[in-house]
Amino acid sequence: NKRGFIFDLDGVIVDTAKYHFLAWKKLANDLGIDFTEHQNEQLKGVSRVQSLEKILDWGGISISELEFQNLMDKKNSDYLSHIETMKEDEILVDVPKVLTFLKNKQQPIALGSASKNARKILKKVALYESFDAIVDGTNVSKAKPDPEVFLIAAKELHIAPNQCVVFEDSIAGVQAANKADMISIGIGEQDVLGEADFVFKDFSEISIEFLTQLINKQ
């Protein structure tokens, strides 16, 4: 039996969600806008453009297109400064174990990320070769919660969407997976990711038995 296993990147494969948070918080605070952890949850999985739109909206601020572009560039260079020195040790717990298990079971594996920095990060942590398909922010026109990124990933894996499993740490990403008719697995807190079919704190909570059941499920 073959399923398509699709992984989000930030906050699922690597611990970069904290760097996105730091960069957005700095930008928001510099604009005099308060930025809470709760607001941050609403930005997870969301594209760079839409994230900035939301922050400006929260602050009731409107700016020119040029200034918007400048702020996006600023956020990204701040973010990139955090990931500059990133190494394999920032891969989240038990991710390699799960990837290796799925590979040994000949299960197709894809990345489905909103980030335009996804390929760069995968190379930094030496996981670029672990995926049969990579779909990221440079390949999509519609951001999560739209299912586009996962549907393209399924297509590239040659697996029907309803035979795919998605690992996500964001509300928007779980909603995208559900809309794509895929099994959604939330990585994080149950009270945040309650819309997912299953929620685990991290991959150390996901057993080989659970993965085997997913593969064999009709």
> What whole-number distance in Å separates Cα of residue 12 and Cα of residue 5?
13
Residue 43 interacts with, from Mg ion, ligand BG6, none (CB under 5-8 Å by kind): ligand BG6
Q: Is 187 in the site for ligand BG6 (CB under 6 A)?
A: no
Residue corresponding to tokens 């819309």:
195
* Token digits of residue 157: 């894996």
At closest approach, how far in Å is the CB of 115 from ligand BG6? 3
73 in catalytic set: no
> What whole-number distance in Å separates Cα of residue 29 and Cα of residue 109?
38
Cβ-based nearer residue to ligand BG6, 134 or 214: 134
169 in catalytic set: no
Cβ-based nearer residue to ligand BG6, 2 or 18: 18
Number of residues that bind ligand BG6 (CB under 6 A): 18
Q: Which residues contact 135 (CB under 8 A, 6 or more apart)?
A: 110, 111, 112, 113, 149, 150, 152, 153, 156
* 3-state secondary structure at position 191: coil
Q: What part of residues 128-157 is at the interface with ligand BG6 (CB under 6 A)?
A: 137
Q: Which of 10, 146, 181, 202 is catalytic?
A: 10
Candidates 63-71, 103-111, 113-121, 199-207 — which segment interacts with ligand BG6 by CB under 6 A?
Answer: 113-121
Residue 26 interacts with, from Mg ion, ligand BG6, none (CB under 5-8 Å by kind): none
> What whole-number distance in Å separates Cα of residue 10 and Cα of residue 20?
9
Q: Is 51 in the site for ligand BG6 (CB under 6 A)?
A: yes
Q: How many CB atoms sit inside 10 A of residue 42's CB? A: 16
* Helix or strand run (H / E) with residue 22: helix 17-30
Binding site for ligand BG6 (CB under 6 A): 9-10, 20, 43-48, 51, 76, 113-117, 137, 170
Give the residue numbers annotated as catalytic, written as ranges. Answer: 8, 10
